[in-house]
Amino acid sequence: MPYPAGADVTEQDQQFPAQQQQPPGLTAPMSPAPDHGESSYEGHGLLTDRRALITGGDSGIGRAVALAFAREGADVAVVYLPEEQADADETRRWVEQAGRTCVLIPTDLTDESSARGAVTTAVTELGGLDILVNNAGFQMARRESIADITSDDLDRTFKTNLYALFWVTQTALEHLGEGAVILNNSSIQAYQPSETLLDYASTKAAINNFTVNLAAEVGSRGIRVNAVAPGPIWTPLQPATQFPEKVEKFGADTPLGRAGQPAEVAPAFVFLAADSTASYVSGTVLGVTGGKPVF
């Protein structure tokens, strides 16, 4: 179990132990362990035999989405950094436990040819593609002002969050047909940006615009495009990019008084991916923020 027996993961004023990792961050050292829905998510056949590519699907929200998609009947391909292999192997274990295929694609998405090649690999291994989840993202909050952001910092954030999303989506559209779905991972930072996340918040606002514009373009092809905007969610990215003292009260400033778990975000992706629940939903951003507004 991700929490000790009897623990209430939804109690307000939840406090995390001070902790720190180096990017990109891994699941195993986290305390407490994130909840990806391993013991709670129940599928209902909403995505039977669909084929999904999930970037950043090794951990955090990406793993929760991969697990949920698999339990809904989908096969998945997961893109991740080579140094995240241990997390990717664990994601594959849960997907295969659900009786579905999991293709692992270790790739640096900040390289254009690698990003495009990841899509080609996924299509080949899965036999096609029906759902694209642009989930991979990077942030760095261990700084005080714009003066601390270097060109290299900017390059890494924008290439991971925007360039890769563009390259992957552009290539995927060569294979996506009528009824396909593209889902982008945005953030509450697009609406309520933190001073220490200026570059990251900028990319998330751009992702919202990208989502709306692309939905208008590909709607005539029968392809839906939406985004999910999570609030503060307990993933490896947090201890890997925040100051330890910030981790302690992570998520406490939400109206619900706590951080969310990846398992609480994944159902939003399932809802938007399934024709039975969201066939007329396109060009929108769905907030999963613990009460913070996304309008």
Residue 99 within a domain: yes
Rounded to 5 degrees, φ, ψ at 193 are -70, 140
CA distances from residue 211 to 38, 57, 97 in whole angstroms, order as listed: 30, 20, 33
The pLDDT value given to residue 211: 99
Number of domains in the chain: 1
pLDDT interval class at 295 (50, 70, 90): confident
Beta carbons within 10 angstroms of residue 243's beta carbon = 13
Q: Does the residue 270 lie in any domain? A: yes
Give me the mean pLDDT over the 26-32 stretch: 95
Is the pLDDT assigned to residue 4 strictly greater than 70? no
Average pLDDT over residues 13-33: 90
Question: How confident is residue 7, by pLDDT bands cut at 50, 70 and 90?
Answer: very low
| pLDDT at position 6 | 35
Three-state DSSP class for residue 102: strand
The pLDDT confidence band at residue 143, using thresholds 50, 70 and 90, is confident
- Is a pLDDT exceeding 50 seen at residue 1? no
Residue 94: which H helix or E strand, with range?
helix 85-97
Would residue 87 count as lying in a domain?
yes
Average pLDDT, the chain: 94
23 occurs within a structural domain: no
The pLDDT value recorded for residue 96 is 99
- Tell me if 158 is assigned to some domain: yes
257 lies in a domain? no
| 220-266 pLDDT, tens digit each | 999 999 999 999 999 999 999 889 999 999 999 999 999 999 999 99
- pLDDT bracket for residue 144 (50, 70, 90): confident
Q: Is residue 164 part of a domain?
A: yes
**What percent of the chain shows pLDDT beyond 90?**
90
Flag whether pLDDT at 10 surpasses 80.
Answer: no
Give strand pairing partners of 78: 54, 104
Which pLDDT does position 259 carry in this prediction?
97
CATH number at residue 150: 3.40.50.720
> Counting every residue, how long is the chain?
295
Partner residues linked to 216 by β-bridges: none
Residue 215 domain flag: yes
Residue 121: domain span: 51-230+265-288
208 contacts 186 by C-beta, under 8 angstroms:
yes
Other residues' Cβ atoms within 10 Å of the Cβ of residue 38: 17
In the numeric block, which tokens belong to residue 287? 């907030």
Residue 80 annotated among the catalytic residues of the structure: no
- What is the average pLDDT across 46-50? 99
pLDDT of residue 14: 65
Q: Which of 41, 80, 191, 200 is catalytic?
A: 200
- Minimum mean pLDDT range among 11-20, 118-127, 190-199, 250-259: 11-20
The pTM is what? 0.94
